[in-house]
Amino acid sequence: MMTILFFLLCSGCFHLTSAANRLRYFNLTNNISSAKKDNWYNARSECNNSRESLVTLYDEEDAKFFAKLVSDYKSLFWIGLHKSQKKNFTTWSNGDKLTLNDSNVNLTKGKQNCEAIEDRAWKHFNCSHRKHFMCQKGNKSILIESERNWCQALQYCRIHYTDLVSISDDQQNEELKKKSRKKSFWIGLLHDEWEWADESCSTYRKWGVSQPNHDFAATMDGNIHTANNIYHIICSKGSVRIKPIPHHSTWEEALIYCKTYHTRLLCIEDEDDQRAVEQWLDNYDFNNKETLWIGLRQSSLFGFWIWSDRTVNWHNWKNKIIPELSSSQCGVINATDYTWSEENCWNKHSFLCEEDIVYMDKY
C-alpha cells in the first residue's frame, strides 16, 4: 500500500509551475446591466482577445454548474459549440488522414460517434461511454484496461504514451482485431460535425428537442441558433477543470479515485486557484454542503503540509493558522467559508478532483 501511495504522491500536481489561471474560471461580471451581448463570432473574438475562450461544457455536472452561474441573467448565453468548418468530420486523434475505413456503420448526421474495436469489428459508440482503450507509442499499441470516456482515454494516452491508436494499414488492423477477442476498446477515431471554440475534447452533448436541426452555434439551453443572433457573452480561462465527487471516502480513497478516473485530487496553488474553487462551491449544489477533501496532506516525516508532491506556499487556513503536527494529517476545504482545515485522514467526505483538459488541436 505504501508504495502505491508513494507512487501516487509523486505523480501529483506536477505541472503547477505554469500556475497562473490554471483552474478553469468563468469571467462573469456581477453587474448584469454592463454584461456584454453580441453575435457568436464577435463573442468568440471578444473572449479570444482577452486570451479566454467561449465556454466548453464537459458533462452534466458542468452544465448544471454553468446554468446556476448565469441564472440571475435570465437570458441566453453563447457556448463554444459550433458547426465544424472541417471538410472531414471523421478524424484520427493524432491528425492522420483516414485512409483505412473498416466501419460498416453509417454515420448519422449531427451525431458525435467514437469508434471502438469490439470482437474483431469496428463499431460506433456514444463517446461518453466508459471503455477500455488502446494507446499508441511508436509502432507499439498498449491496451489500457481501465474505463474512461473517449476524451479521458485520449488524455491518458497523451500523458503516458503518444496518442490513442490510429490505424493505417491492414496488417495493423488485423493485429488489433485479434487483440479484441471478447474485448472492446476505444481507438483514436472520432466522427463529429460539431466542435468547441477552444478545440477542447468534450463528449458532452445535450441538444434541445429536435436539435441539432440546423447548422450554427449553440447556447446553453441546448438549442442551436443562427450565429448572427445576439446573446450574452461569457468567457472562461484555465486548462484544468474542477470535478466534484459526491462519494464519501477517506482521503486516500479520494486520492486514488481522482487518479483513476480523472487526473488528481484538487490542489490549490495560488489565489487564482482558490477563486476558481470558490466559484464552484458557490454555484454547485452539493447534496450536503459540508467539508470536502482536497489534495492537502501533512508530511509525517517533516511536519509540513504538502500538495501531493510539493510544499504548500500560498494558503488559506482557517484563522490563518497553519496546523501543527497532530494526528489529523489531511486537509479539507469548508464549502461555506472556503477556509482549509485539518482532518483525520480516515474520516469520510466527498471530494474535489481536477481533470486536465485535452485539446484536439495538438498537431
Site for ligand NAG in 314-353 (CB under 6 A): 334, 336-337
- Select 13 or 40, whichever has its Cβ closest to ligand NAG: 40
In angstroms, give the least distance from the CB of 165 to ligand NAG. Answer: 14
Least distance in angstroms from the C-beta of 290 to ligand NAG: 6
| CA 346 to mean position of chain CA atoms | 28
Cα separation, 185 vs 166, whole angstroms: 13
Gap between the Cα atoms of 160 and 133, Å rounded: 13
The set of long-range contacts for 342-347, using a CB threshold of 8 Å and a minimum separation of 24, is 342/298, 343/251, 343/291, 343/293, 345/250, 345/251, 345/252, 345/297, 346/250, 346/251, 347/250, 347/251
- Cβ closer to ligand NAG: 3 or 139? 139
Task: Give the residue at shortest CB distance from ligand NAG.
Answer: 34
* CB of 308 vs ligand NAG, minimal distance in Å: 23
Question: Using the rule CB under 6 A, is 230 a contact of ligand NAG?
Answer: no
Report in angstroms how near the CB of residue 359 gets to ligand NAG at its nearest. Answer: 13
Which of 91, 100, 89, 203 shows the shortest CA–CA distance to 149?
203
Using DSSP's 3-state secondary structure scheme, residue 69 falls into helix
Question: Measured from the CB atom, is 115 or 354 closer to ligand NAG?
Answer: 115
Count the alpha carbons within 13 Å of 359 in the hemisphere toward its beta carbon.
10
Closest distance to ligand NAG from the beta carbon of 69 (Å): 14
The end-to-end CA distance of the chain, in Å, is 39
Among 88, 287, 300, 327, binds ligand NAG (CB under 6 A): 88
Cα 78 to Cα 221: distance, rounded to the nearest angstrom: 9
Please list every residue from 56 through 85 that binds ligand NAG, using CB under 6 A: none
Q: Which of 207, 257 has the CB closer to ligand NAG?
A: 207
Q: Which residues, including other chains, have CB under 8 Å from residue 78's CB and lie 6 or more apart?
A: 40, 43, 54, 217, 218, 219, 231, 232, 233, 234
Residue 106 binds to ligand NAG (criterion: CB under 6 A): yes
Residue (127 or 353) nearer to ligand NAG, CB: 127
**Contact positions vs ligand NAG (CB under 6 A):** 27, 31, 33-34, 36, 44-48, 50, 87-88, 90, 97-98, 101, 103-107, 111, 126, 128, 138-139, 233, 235, 291, 334, 336-337
